[in-house]
């Protein structure tokens, strides 16, 4: 791939000072001291899987009280408590938030949480993101995302053939939305069914990670499989609340609002016989400690591990010739 001499890091940028991400924690929480020994994430994921079996057995409305007792008891078990207690909310805060999310849950066509079991899985596994990046600054407002010097413009990179993945932006006008709807009716399977990115911006490390995954996927997938498709990247907390009001399973706090989480399409690749290949390489990266992976159905949620950040930043700078 040909790399231009001018890099995204040298682009003119808007003033940063009013848009700098704020280091905010959830209200009512205090900084927590991380344990001397990192929690066992493999044991945590296994304990979550066991809990989901029991939640699924208590899925009917009449079992609300039994589910509450189950959650209260199981979250105190060492494998689960070690991770939750190390997050900014702590064990008690995480428990109360999960119970509240369950009480408010309403199934709909938009949410990736198709049932209560999926909701519990998404919430508990997303706490790994929060554990990893709890000291990272949060993008609170849309203006902070658009004005941050820590993020690069994907469109600038795409036009220079520096991306190994695809995405689409959300239409900004009624005419754009109408055109998108027409294309979907004429060619319903040409692209994944996703709203697209509100912000076409990403951290440099995330760009390097997605390029790396994109190249590996291209090598592993059957011929004629489209490139890796990214459905969501950085979000502001402001936008996360918008998604919640629309019925999406947009958790708070979220790795998306820190810039280190992303969603990639999985279901669409079934028609190309490539879904399993992508799933396997993502899970292999989780096993290697580079990612946190959450199966959300159509798309999978990924979060970059802090231990991979330095390597990926160097990879980005090498690719861009910085």
Residues 283/109, Cβ–Cβ less than 8 Å = no
Torsion of CA 55, 193, 133, 151, to 10 degrees: -170
| Least confident window among 51-60, 137-146, 205-214, 270-279 | 51-60
Query: What confidence tens digit (pLDDT) does each residue in 117-132 have?
Result: 999 999 999 999 999 9
Could you state, in order of their start, the residue ranges of all structural domains in the chain?
A: 41-115, 142-172+181-320
Indicate the SS3 state at residue 199. coil
Give Cα separations from 142 to 245, 280, 321 (angstroms).
17, 34, 30
Full strand arrangement of the beta sheet holding 228-232? 165-166, 228-232, 261-265, 299-304, 291-296
| Average pLDDT rounded to a whole number, residues 239-244 | 94
Find, among 287, 167, 275, 291, the residue nearest to 221 by Cα. Answer: 275
Find, among 225, 231, 218, the residue nearest to 302 by Cα. Answer: 231
| DSSP string covering 137-160 | PB--SHHHHHH-TTEEEHHHHHHT
Q: What is the largest CA-CA distance in the chain?
A: 64
DSSP β-ladder status, 228-232 and 165-166: parallel
Helix (H) / strand (E) containing 46: helix 41-57
| Least confident window among 13-27, 59-73, 160-174, 306-320 | 13-27
Pairwise CA distance, residues 71 & 162, whole Å: 46
DSSP β-ladder status, 228-232 and 201-203: unpaired
Indicate the SS3 state at residue 296. strand
pLDDT of residue 6: 36
User: Looking at per-residue confidence, does 180 or 242 come out higher?
Assistant: 242
pLDDT of residue 169: 87
pLDDT of residue 21: 58
Strands (E), the chain: 151-153, 165-166, 201-203, 228-232, 261-265, 291-296, 299-304
Under DSSP, the state recorded for 272 is: G
DSSP β-ladder status, 291-296 and 201-203: unpaired
Give Cα separations from 270 to 182, 278, 279, 302, 307 (angstroms).
24, 10, 11, 19, 32
CA 214 to chain CA centroid, Å, is: 16
Find, among 261, 268, 114, the residue nearest to 202 by Cα. Answer: 261
Query: What confidence tens digit (pLDDT) does each residue in 78-119 have?
Result: 999 999 999 999 999 999 999 999 999 988 888 888 899 999
Helix (H) / strand (E) containing 177: helix 174-186
């Amino acid at each position: 791939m040909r790399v231009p001499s001018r890099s995204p890091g040298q682009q003119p940028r808007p003033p940063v000072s009013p848009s700098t991400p704020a280091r905010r924690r959830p209200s009512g929480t205090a900084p927590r001291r991380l344990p001397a020994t990192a929690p066992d994430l493999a044991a945590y994921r296994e304990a979550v899987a066991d809990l989901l079996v029991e939640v699924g057995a208590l899925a009917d409305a009449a079992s609300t009280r039994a589910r509450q007792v189950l959650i209260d008891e199981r979250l105190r078990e060492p494998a689960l408590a070690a991770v939750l207690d190390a997050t900014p909310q702590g064990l008690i805060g995480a428990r109360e938030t999960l119970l509240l999310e369950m009480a408010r849950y309403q199934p709909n066509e938009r949410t990736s949480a198709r049932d209560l079991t999926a909701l519990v899985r998404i919430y508990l596994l997303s706490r790994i993101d929060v554990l990893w990046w709890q000291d990272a600054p949060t993008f609170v407002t849309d203006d902070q995302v658009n004005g941050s010097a820590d993020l690069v413009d994907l469109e600038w990179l795409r036009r220079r053939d520096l991306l190994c993945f695809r995405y689409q932006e959300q239409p900004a006008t009624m005419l754009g939305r109408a055109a998108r709807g027409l294309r979907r009716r004429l060619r319903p399977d040409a692209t994944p069914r996703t709203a697209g990115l509100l912000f076409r911006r990403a951290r440099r490390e995330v760009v390097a990670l997605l390029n790396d995954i994109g190249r590996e996927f291209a090598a592993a997938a059957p011929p004629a499989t489209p490139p890796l498709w990214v459905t969501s990247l950085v979000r502001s907390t402001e936008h996360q609340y918008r998604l919640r009001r629309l019925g999406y399973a947009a958790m708070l706090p979220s790795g998306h609002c820190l810039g280190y989480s992303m969603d990639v399409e999985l279901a669409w690749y079934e028609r190309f016989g490539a879904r399993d290949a992508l799933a396997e390489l993502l899970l292999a990266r989780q096993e290697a400690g580079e990612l946190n992976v959450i199966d959300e159905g159509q798309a999978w949620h990924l979060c970059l591990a802090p231990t991979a950040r330095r390597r990926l930043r160097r990879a980005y700078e090498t690719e861009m010739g910085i």
